[in-house]
Amino acid sequence: MVAGRTCEKDQRVLEKNDSFLPPGDPPLTPSGSQIPVARPSEPRVLRPRRAAPGDAIRPTRAEVNLAALRHNLRVVQKYSGGAKVWAVLKADGYGHGAPAVARTLERAGAHGFCVALLEEAIELREAGIFAPILVMGGYYPNAHAEVIHRNLIPVVYNEEHLDGFSRASRLLGSSRALPVHVKVDTGMARLGVTMDNIEGFAEKLKARGEVEVSGLMTHFGSADAENVSDVEAQLLRFEEATLRFAEVGIRPQVRHAANSAAVFRKEGLLDIVRPGIAFFGVSPTLPDGSPLTTELQTVMRVRSEIVDLRTVHEGSAIGYGGLWRAKRPSRIATMPMGYADGLSRHLTNRGHVLVRGKRAPIVGAVSMDMSMVDVTDIEGVSMRDEVVILGGQEGVLGSDSISVDEIAKHCETIPWEVLCAISRRVPRFYREP
C-alpha cells in the first residue's frame, strides 16, 4: 500500500470494520497493511455518500440548474441592503448537493456559508470551499479540535462549548484566539443564550482568552407571519442583548439574524443575512399563500422514465392494498421512483407527474422504489417516455410545471421538507443551460 493511501482491497476491509477496536497493534488487512484504528477518544467524522451521476443506471435523477442558482443569489443580494450574504446549506444544500452548490455560490459572490452540523462543514471544506463556514447547531462533543483544525466558525451559547474550545485550543497550541459567534435566544426558545443569562455568559467568555467573539446572532421564529410584530420584538431584544454584551466589553465585528423571509421583507438585515430556501427558487409565503417575491427561479428538476406500460381492465386494483381501482379500461405506467427516493406516500391518489407535457395522476400507493400513474388520457405514451416529478416539461402535447409548493400542499407539509426528502440515492446532475 502506498503511504497515505488505501488500496481498493483494504478499503473494503475498512468499510467492514464498523466498530472501535481494542488497544494494541492495529490488525492487518489481507494485503498486509495495517488498518487505521479509531480510538474511542477520537470521534470519526465521516462524510455521507450520495449516488454519483457516473454510477447511475436507472433513469431517476435530479437535475440542478446552476444558472438559476446564480440568478437567485443576485435576487437575494438585491434585497439584502448591502449586507454580506452567507448561504445556508443545511441538509445537503436542501437536497441539492451542498458541495456543488457551495462551489457555484462561492464563485458567484457569496461571502460565506452556514450549516447545522460539523459533518456538513467538513464536507464543504473537503470539497475545496475556502469561504467562512459557520456551524450553527452547537453540537461538538469531543470534536472541538476538528473545528479549529478545519478553520470553521462555531456558534456557542453554553459553558460546555467554551470549555471544549478552550481546552482544544490549548492542546493544539493555537497562537490566536478562536473566532466564535454567540447565539442569543430572543424568542425562538430553541437554542441560544437567554436574555436572563447574558451577563453571566459574558463573564465566562471574558475568562477564556482562547476564544474571541467575532459575531452575535439570533434567529427569527415568525418572519413569514402576516405582520412583522414578532420580528420587531425579537430585534428589540437583540439590540438590548448587543448593548448588554458591549457594557461588559464584548463588541462583535458582525451581527446577523435575517433568514429568507426576513430578507424579502427587509427586516433585520444587519451585517450578514442567512437565507437558505430562497437560493433554491422557493419563496417563503404569507399565511394567505402569497409569495414574498416572484423573482426566484426553480433550481431542481426531478425526472424519471416509464419502465412498464400496461392496460388494465375496469375494476382492476393498482398497487399495495388496492387503494385505487380502475373505473374504466386504463393505461397504467410505472416509473422507478418511490418513497425511498423522496416521493412521499402522501401523494398516493393525490399527486401528479408530467408525461409528454400533460399531467398524469399518481394512482395506487406510492411504494418504496416504484410508483404508478394513469396515462389513459395522454396520447402516444410509450416505454422510456420522460416522467417529470418536480419542475417543468416541454412535451409534444404541451408544457406544464409541477412546483415544490404544489407537492407540499398535497403532502400537507412545507417545501423545505419536500426538497430535503429527495434522498441521496437519487443522483444529482449539475447543468449549465
Average pLDDT over the chain reads: 90
Angstrom distances, CA of residue 97 to CA of 29, 225, 243, 384, 428: 33, 29, 39, 27, 7
Domains and CATH numbers, the chain: 66-280 (3.20.20.10), 300-431 (2.40.37.10)
| Residue 65: strand, helix, or coil | strand
- H or E stretch covering 243: helix 229-247
Q: Which cell numbers hold the place of 381?
A: 405514451
Give the DSSP letter string of 370-419. Answer: -EEEE-TTSTT--TT-EEEEEEEEEETTEEEEE-HHHHHHHHTS-HHHHH
Cα–Cα distance, 204 to 159 (Å, whole number): 7
> In the prediction, which pLDDT does 46 show?
54
Contact yes or no for 88/111 (Cβ under 8 A): no
> In the prediction, which pLDDT does 429 show?
96
| Residue 262: strand, helix, or coil | helix
pLDDT at 190 over 70: yes
Cα–Cα distance, 397 to 359 (Å, whole number): 10
Catalytic hit among 16, 79, 320, 339 = 320
Angstrom distances, CA of residue 219 to CA of 188, 259, 278, 408: 7, 8, 16, 24
User: Could you tell me which of 141, 237, 139 has the C-alpha nearest to residue 194?
Assistant: 237
pTM of the predicted model as reported, rounded to 2 decimal places: 0.87
pLDDT digits (tens, 9 = 90+) for 141-155: 999 999 999 999 999
Helices (H), 7-97: 8-16, 66-79, 90-94
Catalytic hit among 79, 90, 157, 339 = 90
User: Could you tell me which of 224, 206, 202 has the C-alpha nearest to residue 288?
Assistant: 224
Question: Cα 398–401–402 angle (5° rounding)?
Answer: 140
The amino acid sitting at 408 is A
pLDDT digits (tens, 9 = 90+) for 115-164: 999 999 999 999 999 999 999 999 999 999 999 999 999 999 999 999 99
> In the prediction, which pLDDT does 48 show?
55
Q: Which residues contact 243 (CB under 8 A, 6 or more apart)?
A: none
pLDDT digits (tens, 9 = 90+) for 24-55: 444 443 444 443 433 444 455 555 566 777 77
User: Could you tell me which of 237, 277, 243 has the C-alpha nearest to residue 257?
Assistant: 237
> In the prediction, which pLDDT does 43 show?
52
> In the prediction, which pLDDT does 4 show?
39
Up-side HSE of residue 142: CA atoms within 13 Å toward CB? Answer: 7
pLDDT digits (tens, 9 = 90+) for 169-180: 999 999 999 999
Cα–Cα distance, 353 to 389 (Å, whole number): 5
* 21 — pLDDT class (breaks 50, 70, 90): very low
Instruction: Let me know if 320 is a catalytic residue.
Output: yes
pLDDT digits (tens, 9 = 90+) for 275-316: 999 999 999 999 999 999 999 999 999 999 999 999 999 999
pLDDT digits (tens, 9 = 90+) for 43-91: 555 555 667 777 778 999 999 999 999 999 999 999 999 999 999 999 9
pLDDT at 184 over 50: yes
Cα–Cα distance, 333 to 338 (Å, whole number): 14
> In the prediction, which pLDDT does 56 show?
79
pLDDT digits (tens, 9 = 90+) for 225-274: 999 999 999 999 999 999 999 999 999 999 999 999 999 999 999 999 99
Q: Is 54 exposed, middle or buried (0-12, 13-18, 19+ CB in 10 A)?
A: exposed
Instruction: Let me know if 430 is a catalytic residue.
Output: no
> In the prediction, which pLDDT does 28 show?
41
Q: What is the DSSP letter of 217?
A: E
Mean pLDDT for 192-217 is: 97
Q: Which cell numbers hold the place of 52?
A: 454519483
Q: What is the per-residue burial (b if ≥16 Cβ within 10 Å, else e) of 275-314?
A: bbbbbbbbbbeeeeeeebbebbebbbbbbbbbbeeeebee
Cα–Cα distance, 145 to 119 (Å, whole number): 13
